[in-house]
Amino acid sequence: MFNQEEIKKDLEYLTGAITKEMKALIKLNGSFASGELYNSVRTSVDKKGDDWKIKFNMIYYGLFVDKGTRPGHYPNINDLREWARYKGISQAAVYPIAKNIFKYGTKARPFTTPLEEGSPLLKELLDGIGESFIDDAVEQIMQDAKYFGARLR
C-alpha cells in the first residue's frame, strides 16, 4: 500500500535531522573535546518484517555526558588526561579534577533531548512525515478509486 522506499527516505530524513541536532547540542553545551563522541553519534533505519527499526548509537560514555554521573567513582585517569589535553587544561589539574568527580559527580550536559517525547524538533519532524504519509495514502486511495470505479460501473 505505502511506498516502502518513501517510508525509508522519510525515516532517514527524520533520523538525520535528529542526529544533526544532537551533534549541534554536543558542541553548544561544551561537551566537544576530541570529537570522538560527536563522530560516534549514528543512526540506522532497517525494516524487519512489517516493522521499521530506528537505531541510535554513540560511544559508551555518551550516556555519562548526557545524564551526568553520581558521586563515588573515579574516572579513568588516562581518559581524563586526554580530555584535559584537548580542553587545554594543565595535566597538573587532572588528579584534583578526578577527586572532584569522585566527590561531586559530573553535571549533565544533555544532547539527546531531540529524542525525548514532546521535543519540539521531534514533533515538527513527525508532523511533516505524517503529512507525507497522509499524502501517500490519499494518492493510493485515489488511484484505487479510479481503478475500482472504472470496474464497478
The overall average pLDDT reported for the chain is 80
pTM: 0.70
Residue 92 has pLDDT above 90, yes or no: yes
Is 130 a residue whose pLDDT tops 70? no
Location of C-alpha cell 563522530:
39
With 0-12 CB in 10 A as exposed, 13-18 as middle and 19+ as buried, what is 66? buried
21 and 41 Cβ atoms separated by less than 8 Å:
no
Angle of helix 94-104 versus helix 77-87 axis, rounded to 10:
110
Question: Using 50, 70 and 90 to split pLDDT, how confident is the model at 107?
Answer: very high
Q: How far apart are CA 24 and CA 27, in angstroms?
A: 5
Q: So where are the chain's domains?
A: 4-68+110-152, 70-106
Three cell numbers, residue 29:
553545551
What pLDDT is stored for residue 150 in this prediction? 42
